[in-house]
Amino acid sequence: MQVHPTIAGLRAALAPHRLQRIAFVPTMGNLHDGHIALMTEARKHADVVVASIFVNRLQFRPGEDFEAYPRTFQADCERLTAAGVDHLFAPDEKEMYPQPQAYHIEPPMTHQGVLEGEFRPGHFRGVATVVAKLFNIVQPQVALFGKKDFQQVMVIKNMVRELGFFIEIIDSPTIRADDGLALSSRNGYLTKQERAEAPRLARELTKVVTAIRAGNRDFSGLENGVREVLENHGWVPDYIAIRRKSDLQSPSAHESVQVENLVVLAAAKLGSTRLIDNMEV
């Protein structure tokens, strides 16, 4: 695997491959099996696989874990090499944002102001801005994202469609530990006791999906039920929400709901670690 710290170096390396199909998987590093599954999937869609590692300051709010975010570059490179990735773009902040980034992609508030965006204002503006910039740098034909960050994928798909990026977006299923916990770089913050408790989130979301499939349409009752269970086990939930997959808005009480179009999303703190997860109905 070739590692490119500069935009010019990456562009030069990709120049001979411009007539081939290039797949791109952006990451912030600290790679786990979920990321590696994306790399493996990327290989099925392209001749050349490019990954990036860049911890993007723009998507963290003051007081979030930007400084503490785990940086494990050597181990990440070994995993990417083993996964058959051809090129890694790994810029530092000066390369990526030589002056403070003054131009931004501003997703509509209906997309960036709800769920994660309500609790992390500006997060999706930071994500959309860095992803657009990475897309322009790499110029892939296809890019892959994990469905664990369901709202992120929704924002990126809409950005690509509305701004005319000529890139196919593939969303891949969430990869889970044997006990159901969705893999995440932030799982590493959990204490042993919290790690044992953490799979409850996925279990509760699964119960909601089962209930909806069985005909339960009392969505707020189901959401409140999960909130209560989590609170009783020491969690501090931000949201538990049953939403339409396409735009993450609430299914209106009056519209006839096609349950296959719904997703159940949650974010909750366990100790000092904030976990998110979702399940499609």
Catalytic site positions = 35
DSSP per-residue codes, 59-72: GS-TTSSTTTS---
For the CB of residue 53, give the shortest distance to ligand PAF in the complex, in Å: 9
Question: Which residues in the 84-123 window bind ligand PAF by CB under 6 A?
Answer: none
Cα(186)–Cα(274) distance, rounded to whole angstroms? 8
Q: Which of 37, 17, 30, 131 is nearest to 84 (CA)?
A: 37
Q: Quick check: helix, strand or coil at residue 50?
A: strand
Looking at residues 134 to 153 of the shown chain, list those that interact with ligand PAF (rule: CB under 6 A): 149, 152
Nearer to ligand PAF (CB atom), residue 149 or residue 171:
149
Judged by CB under 6 A, the stretch of 16-24, 124-132, 199-207, 213-221 that binds ligand PAF is: 124-132
What three-state secondary structure class fits 157? helix
Does residue 174 bind ligand PAF (CB under 6 A)?
no
Closer residue to ligand PAF in complex, CB, 130/222: 130
- Of 150-169, binders to ligand PAF (CB under 6 A) are 152
Cβ 211 to ligand PAF, closest distance in Å?
30
The size of the interface with ligand PAF (CB under 6 A), counted in residues, is 10
| Per-residue exposure over 58-80, b if at least 16 CB sit within 10 Å of its own CB, e if not | bbbeeeebeeebeeeeeebbebb
How far apart are CB 235 and ligand PAF at their closest, in Å? 23
Work out the number of other CB atoms within 10 angstroms of the CB of residue 176: 16
Given the complex with ligand PAF, which of 127 and 241 has the nearer CB atom?
127
Instruction: Read off the DSSP letter of residue 251.
Output: P
267 binds ligand PAF (CB under 6 A): no
Cβ closest to ligand PAF, residue 3 vs residue 259: 3
Looking at beta carbons only, is 89 or 235 nearer to ligand PAF?
89
Q: Which of residues 15-54 bind ligand PAF (CB under 6 A)?
A: 26-28
131 binds ligand PAF (CB under 6 A): yes
Determine how many CB atoms are found less than 10 A away from the CB of residue 212: 20
Determine the length of the chain. Answer: 281
- Of the candidates 213, 233, 218, 217, the one whose C-alpha atom is nearest the C-alpha of residue 275 is 233
Among 130, 205, 208, 263, binds ligand PAF (CB under 6 A): 130
Kindly state the smallest distance separating residue 179's Cβ from ligand PAF, in Å: 23
Q: State how far the Cα of 129 lies from the Cα of 131, in Å rounded to an integer.
A: 6
Rg of the Cα trace of the chain? 19
Task: Report helix, strand or coil for 156.
Answer: helix
State in angstroms the smallest separation of the CB of 149 from ligand PAF: 5
Residues that bind ligand PAF (CB under 6 A): 26-28, 56, 59, 127, 130-131, 149, 152
